[in-house]
Amino acid sequence: MIHMIPAVLLFIVFIGMLMVLILKKYGEMGKTELATYVALMAWGCLFIGFCMARYF
């Protein structure tokens, strides 16, 4: 499980970068967009952690 952590972190960062690019494309990041971004990142972390726990 521990050896998978760097890969998971890279995946989360990659998704985060995509989200930021998408948000910047649609204009300045407002409070609502930022809150949505943080919420999606949190759910993504939980989902990936759950998958890792099940498969490893």
Q: What integer is the mean pLDDT of 23-38?
A: 70
Averaged pLDDT score across all residues of the chain: 74
The mean pLDDT value for 39-56 works out to 76
> How far is it, in rounded angstroms, from Cα 14 to Cα 29?
18
pLDDT at 28 over 70: no
Cα 22 to Cα 54: distance, rounded to the nearest angstrom? 31
Where along the chain do its domains lie? Answer: 2-55
Residue 49: CB partners within 8 Å, gap ≥ 6? Answer: 8
Report the predicted TM-score, pTM, of the whole model to 2 decimal places.
0.42
* Confidence label for 1 from pLDDT (cuts 50, 70 and 90): low
The predicted structure's pLDDT at residue 56: 62
pLDDT surpasses 70 at 11? yes
